[in-house]
Amino acid sequence: MSDMAKNLILWLVIAVVLMSVFQSFTPSTSPDQQMDYTRFIKDVRQGQIRDASVDRNGVITGEKRSGEAYKTVIPGGYDRDLINDLVKQGVRAEGKLPEETSFLTTIFVSWFPMILLIGVWIFFMRQMQGGGGKGAMSFGKSKARQLSEEQIKTTFADVAGCDEAKAEVEELVDYLKEPDRFQKLGGRIPSGILLVGQPGTGKTLLAKAIAGEAKVPFFTISGSDFVEMFVGVGASRVRDMFEQAKKAAPCIIFIDEIDAVGRKRGSGIGGGHDEREQTLNQMLVEMDGFEGNEGVIVIAATNRPDVLDPALLRPGRFDRQVTVGLPDIRGRAQILKVHMRKVPLGDDVKATVIARGTPGFSGADLANLVNEAALGAARKALRVVGMKEFDAAKDKIMMGSERKSMVMSESEKAMTAYHEAGHALIGRLVPDHDPVYKVSIIPRGRALGVTMYLPEQDRFSHSKQHLESNISSLYGGRIAEQLIYGSDKVSTGASNDIERATDIARKMVTQWGLSEKLGPMLFAEDEGEIFLGSSSAKSFHLSADTVKLIDEEIKAVINRNYQRAEDLMKENIDILHAMKDCLMKYETIDALQIDDLMARTTVRPPADWDDKDSDDSTKKNGNGDASADVEATSKDAESAKDTEETSPVEPDASKPSGDTPST
């Protein structure tokens, strides 16, 4: 029975009980004929009353000689002359004894409000504690959900793209199946494994696959389920969870997002009395204390290993840290094949081709890609999902949804075309830059246009030449606007480009040691995480001269690459104009059209281009009578992110992965 049904039944029972109690205190009504007392006395004296029954409340009921029933009430509840009148007229009179109530009924009626109040309090306490069918006072009971062997259907065949991580944990399965083989040689299986990786890389899926392969009970819980508002509840839940696991050993305990409870101690308010720290202390004792946990393997997952307490990471507790990283091109192809099993595919779909065009995608991103492609095919009422749907889904994920209904004036459309053409042109001319994959002036999200780069292969480090080329291409849009429209007409569309270019230059100088004057020295760190008033970042005490030199070097890097981009654009201004015209006509161009533009030859139309698209585009983006939409577009252009330059390697094309030049 669902929780909603249980709650509904409980409230219905409470309502019925309340109605019953109120009914018992309410005088019952009778369908008998009601008459006033004066008329009753007159009928008595006229001899029309046959019998009368009087209760202690002064209510008189009976029957007239005509056979008609009556009912009346004595005013004030008492009339001493009434009996004499009844006797004189020969009326058969009787009095009613008061109803006797049992002792238990009296107790129930008097204590019912208190019982009802206690019942409501228990109900709300169950709701606050999540219920779970363990009783209202089971605050300290574990919220871990146990999955039996039959409930877990996931196996290693469902996990792809992380072969190294799978190899690390496969011996856990062998140990759970054949523990004697390891114990003969004195080996001890790791009691805890910490899965570390970016969100969406498959840490939870890998843990379920371990349980599915080993065919053992699997306890799953989130780190946030331990700590509640009551002091000591978290530690009690940890104890209860390990007690249940010991009874079901051999088994696996999976703690997702363990950083919610495993953060470094000493940083919270209250010191050692903090509820979170007490919960962590109990977990440390349970994992490796006086009592052993034979057959209980703890697997935890987090994407923030840097904030975990060192005592939690030492051997004996979490003996291994398994990194579940982003998949390479071969891993992405394997992941795509896993998710494509349930999708009817067209003959032109090739997982390896899609994998080559999605560097930096996690397993969750690839699952979303397949789902978006299937949804796109369903919207078109297709029977199979083709490569065209996968390309459209990839563009939607990388660049955002198209806003084709957004009306732009011809002047804004032309400026956007020049801006994006400037990014693409410089990206093709500077060395060691990712190839331009697609340029579009169709609004997507908050951006009025998008220039997208696609690396030829996965990048794991970034050279100084590559970083400076990124800075030059980021300024390409602003330089194009300045050359075509003049300094006074430059728009706010380059604000995000400037922010990203400045960030790259600052990190080159202060973190990555790529400045000739300052040398390979560290002058700043990434911003530390602020947690309850403390910061993990170190303080740097720099002299005024050093700070001035840092500012000069950052400015020199930016000016050098800005000037290079401006010189290249002036030398190839004809290509800029041609690319703008091409974008105005087709709205979206890819690498093939850009190749024709760079070679100064006739530009071939896109593969899916139709002549009628040109007319539809003109009508859609013309001035017309859509002045309100144009005004809204102008306001969006001032939001500091009107144009966007994206790369599938990471969300920010100019930022190296992990904020370091190499990983």
- Residues noted as catalytic: 420
- Preceding omega of 431 cis (within 30 degrees of 0): no
Dihedral over Cα of 436, 442, 446, 449: its sign: positive
> Quick one: DSSP state of residue 224?
G
Q: CA–CA separation, 585 vs 439, rounded Å?
A: 13
Rounded CA-CA distance 118/100 in Å is 29
Distance in angstroms (rounded) separating the CA atoms of residues 168 and 203: 13
What is the distance in angstroms between the CA of the first residue and the CA of the last residue of the chain? 51
Q: What are phi and psi of 276, to 5 degrees?
A: -65, -40
Bin 393: left if φ > 0, else alpha if -120 < ψ < 50, else beta.
alpha
**Torsion angles phi and psi, residue 101, rounded to 5:** -105, 145
| DSSP strand pairing (296-302 vs 192-196) | parallel
Return d(Cα 593, Cα 602) in angstroms, integer: 9
CA atoms within 13 Å, Cβ hemisphere of 399? 28
Taking Cα atoms as reference points, which of 246, 245, 312, 306 lies closest to residue 277? Answer: 312
- How far apart CA 129 and CA 227 sit, in angstroms, is 11
Classify strands 49-54 and 59-64 as parallel, antiparallel or unpaired.
antiparallel
Which residues touch 70 (CB under 8 Å, ≥6 apart)? 32, 33, 35, 40, 49, 61, 62, 63, 64
For residue 458, give the DSSP letter.
Answer: -
**Which residue type is seen at 304?**
R
CA dihedral 157, 159, 163, 168 (to 10 degrees): -90
Sign of CA dihedral 479, 481, 483, 488: negative
